[in-house]
């Protein structure tokens, strides 16, 4: 047991931890951007670090854990103090050996590692909780309903920095992988353009590249490299525009619907491999495809199950033999249902006894996705990359947009709060990531230029 660290973390009480995490603008770095201080208000018995990182091309968490193991463990302790949790779990994969070696000697008695199988989507938090604790989160419920709060690695590292140094979130670590000259994992100021990030990776190595924000399974298409890095940018994946992963994302909704109507053979493979269905959720993508194709087959309850889809993409990229995307159909349904304020309520069925064997081995996934030629290690760079211009989005989180608290022409320093959300509103403040001058303020962003 590492008593030194246990003694250190008790210096901060739960409210101080939450206050510092809020002031630092920490949000869920795993994609959703849920304000971390709000999550830390929940009272649970278990705090779980989701360190699965099962998107095949992303290499951030596994490398950060190896070089910042002590900070990660302290971050877990702060989160446990804030949430009242008496157990901490860091769920990661056996292949992250350097991280396991670095973490193991630092673990106090109440924090353990959980070794996940190398399958996709082990990092879907509902699946991670199931694998690491045996508890199943009911459909449409939050992890707190089973006594767990989950954060990913970068979020927990940001929590530790916020608590110990009152250091705001001004940088983001991301992997640039695929068709680039120098695949790497690097830390850049928030607000740097993806164009500059691509240059740091040596530029694209194909004539007509396409770009994905994040991993090949859940990442979204990037339509402009002027897009700035945000607190939730997953990574930059570069592939030839002709690659199926880019082409699928470029397909418009009308085409998605018409392919589904023309060729769905109701084989139900999408349901047999749907991770949420496998752990006992009512969600059955083949029934949703049928419901959309033949609307007389749609009951209100059936349509509402679309709200429980995690958009893991297994049904589109792995299961369907004829190129249909039940996930995209679910996304369209979700949009309509949410606009009408509909909510899903439904049973938690018994889990499929084959569930553990139906998740997708990551090696097979890389081949299936046509990524073998584009897969690289993307080593972590220690360089302190910076930029002369940042575009700070006012909404890098779930909740209300942050409201600028600086004026055009004002000089700001790195770490200074430039926008905040009103007291009591869901959201997180935004901070300058370089020293400079506020050159522009719009409804969406604040631009800071060095000088
Ligand atoms: S896997 Fe494809 S063809 Fe089979 S039921 Fe699902 S959408 Fe239809
Ligand atoms: S994306 Fe497809 S496989 Fe994944 S949860 Fe949704 S319906 Fe299931």
- Give 379-435 pLDDT, tens digit per residue: 999 999 999 999 999 999 999 999 999 999 999 999 999 999 998 899 999 999 999
Contact by Cβ (8 Å): 367, 424? no
Atom of ligand 2 nearest to the CA of 319: 3
* Ligand 1 contact via 256 beta carbon (within 6 Å): no
- Find out whether the beta carbon of 270 lies less than 6 Å from any atom of ligand 1: yes
Quick: pLDDT tens for 126-183. Answer: 999 999 999 999 999 999 999 999 999 999 999 999 999 999 999 999 999 999 999 9
Please tell me the distance between residue 446's alpha carbon and the centre of ligand 2 in angstroms.
Answer: 36
Contact of 239 with 212, CB cutoff 8 Å: yes
Which CA distances in Å does 93 have to 61, 118, 122, 123, 361?
11, 6, 9, 10, 12
Ligand located closest to 291 CA: 1
Supply angle C-alpha 101, 1, 156, rounded to 5.
60
Q: What is the atom index within ligand 1 of the atom nearest the CA of 269? A: 1
* Nearest alpha carbon, ligand 1 atom 3: 264
- Give the residues surrounding ligand 2 with Cβ less than 6 Å away: 274-276, 283, 285, 309-315, 326-327, 330
Taking the CA of residue 266 as reference, the ligand 1 atom at the shortest distance is: 5
Ligand 1 atom at minimal distance to the Cα of residue 326: 7
- The finding on whether 322 has its CB within 6 A of some atom of ligand 1 is yes
Residue range 18-34, pLDDT digits in tens:
999 999 999 999 877 99
């Amino acid at each position: 047991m590492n008593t030194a660290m246990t003694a250190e973390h008790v210096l901060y009480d739960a409210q101080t931890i939450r206050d510092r995490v809020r002031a630092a603008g920490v949000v869920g770095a795993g994609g959703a951007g849920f304000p971390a201080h709000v999550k830390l208000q929940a009272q649970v018995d278990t705090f779980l670090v989701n360190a699965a990182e099962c998107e095949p091309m992303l290499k951030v968490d596994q490398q950060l854990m190896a070089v910042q193991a002590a900070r990660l463990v302290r971050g877990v302790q702060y989160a446990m103090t804030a949430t009242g949790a008496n157990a901490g779990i860091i769920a990661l994969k056996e292949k992250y050996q350097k991280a396991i070696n670095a973490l193991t000697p630092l673990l106090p008695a109440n924090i353990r590692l959980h070794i996940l199988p190398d399958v996709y989507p082990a990092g879907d938090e509902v699946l991670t909780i199931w694998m690491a604790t045996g508890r199943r989160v009911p459909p449409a419920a939050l992890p707190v309903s089973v006594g767990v709060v989950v954060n990913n690695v970068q979020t927990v590292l940001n929590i530790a920095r916020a608590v110990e140094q009152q250091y705001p979130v001004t940088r983001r670590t991301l992997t640039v992988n695929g068709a680039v000259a120098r695949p790497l994992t690097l830390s850049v100021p928030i607000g740097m353009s993806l164009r500059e990030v691509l240059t740091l990776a040596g530029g694209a190595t194909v004539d007509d590249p396409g770009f994905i924000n994040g991993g090949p399974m859940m990442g979204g298409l990037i339509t402009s490299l002027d897009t700035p890095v945000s607190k939730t940018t997953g990574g930059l994946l570069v592939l030839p525009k002709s690659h199926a992963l880019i082409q699928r994302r470029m397909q418009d909704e009308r085409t998605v619907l018409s392919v589904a109507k023309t060729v769905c053979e109701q084989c139900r493979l999408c349901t047999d491999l749907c991770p949420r269905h496998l752990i006992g959720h009512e969600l059955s993508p083949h029934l949703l495809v049928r419901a959309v194709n033949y609307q007389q087959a749609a009951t209100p309850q059936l349509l509402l199950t679309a709200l429980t889809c995690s958009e893991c993409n297994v049904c589109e990229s792995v299961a369907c033999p004829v190129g249909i995307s039940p996930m995209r159909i679910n996304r369209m349904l979700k949009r309509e249902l949410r606009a009408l304020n509909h909510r899903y309520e439904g049973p938690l069925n018994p889990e499929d006894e084959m569930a553990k064997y139906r998740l997708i081995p990551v090696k097979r996934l890389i081949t299936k996705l046509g990524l073998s030629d584009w897969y690289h290690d993307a080593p972590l760079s220690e360089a302190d990359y910076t930029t002369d211009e940042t575009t700070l989005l006012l909404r890098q989180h779930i909740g209300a947009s942050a409201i600028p608290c600086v004026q055009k022409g004002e000089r700001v320093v790195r770490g200074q709060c430039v926008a905040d959300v009103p007291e009591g509103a869901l959201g997180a403040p935004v901070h300058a990531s370089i020293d400079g001058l506020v050159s522009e303020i719009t409804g969406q962003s604040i631009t800071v230029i060095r000088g």
